[in-house]
Amino acid sequence: MSKIAFVTGATGFLGRQVVWAFDRAGWTVVGSGFSRATPPSVLKVDLEDQHAIDSVLDETKPHVIIHCAANRFPDKCDADPDGTRALNIAASRRIAHAAQSRSIILIYMSTDYVFAGRPGEAPYEADATANPTNLYGRTKLAGEKAVLEVCGDAGLGIILRVPVLYGHAETSTESAVNVLVDAVWKACDEDANINMDDWSLRYPTNTEDVARVLVDIATRYLMADEARVAMPKVLQFSSEYRVTKFQMCKIFAEILGLPLDGMTGTGEDKSAAVPRPYDTHLSTKVLEELGLDVRTMDFQDWWRREMKAYRR
């Protein structure tokens, strides 16, 4: 019998890669979206409507749900706190109830921003105390708690935390990493006066790697059957490649053969409207103990291949 995966946020930056990875692995994949949904390839489902969630799950009968849909940009979260809570928390709880009542495994995508990221604290283990510094992190942590409260005891709720992502994008603004390429082009003008963070440490991870790991997790937990009750409920995946945003810009400029005269690296911005952590490096120890492959593709090699599309 074919395994069935249901992916929320299937039209999004990560969701598209997740759909592709499960399809390539031989699963039957059903994707959902809302504003960018294109039925019948991607179903339009309002995650604020419990009846809509219940109906689509009864129709598609998935074995696993991968919940990618979220408001994941800290600045946008602060601009729309009510909408952020509705999607990141309330919708996650609705999906958890629907999954639990149908014995469906639910994998909830979360973030390294659930941690404070103070100097000297990283790397964070999966069971480390979470203490988010901004609304985005707080809502994602609340979503984690909702999923585990509803599904955890039955072994159906799984959390996967990941850091900042990069990869194939429809527009550069889909990724906090990809969008830096635009800044590099602007910085060719020595009068651009672009200030770029050279303080906080990032561990950019490719969406293809995250999608591959999700397939491995779904397969492992589905095969475990009732034994998954005793398996870890909080997992973390991350690249080990450490870099600041300014350092990424310098890499992009070098690959493209561009000057970076109009950009300056800056230290900690204590006046930032949305506070960012210094270092939220995630330990992948739990995934490794499960025997899953935590290797990631080389950041610079991937961009050297991808940059062909960015050359002008």
Q: Which helix (H) or strand (E) holds 65?
A: strand 64-67
The Cα–Cα gap between 208 and 170 comes to 15
Would you list the DSSP string of 40-57?
TTEEE--TT-HHHHHHHH
Would you list the DSSP string of 241-280?
--B-HHHHHHHHHHHHT---TTEEEE---TT-SS---SB-
- The token pair at 216 is 């491995």
Active-site residue, selected from the candidate residues 136, 166, 203, 221: 136
Is 306 within 8 Å of 296 (Cβ atoms)? no
Burial of 163 (0-12, 13-18, 19+ CB in 10 A): buried
**Of 239, 243, 163, 241, the residue nearest 196 (C-alpha):** 243
Q: How far apart are the first and last CA of the chain?
A: 48
The Cα–Cα gap between 209 and 205 comes to 7
Q: Is 108 a catalytic residue?
A: no
**Of 107, 111, 109, the residue nearest 5 (C-alpha):** 107
Would you list the DSSP string of 96-141?
HHHHHHTT-EEEEEEEGGGS---TT-PSBPTTSPP--SSHHHHHHH
Query: Which whole-number Å values give the CA distances from 168 to 109, 112, 208, 280, 296, in the listed order?
Result: 19, 21, 9, 24, 15
Residues that are catalytic: 136
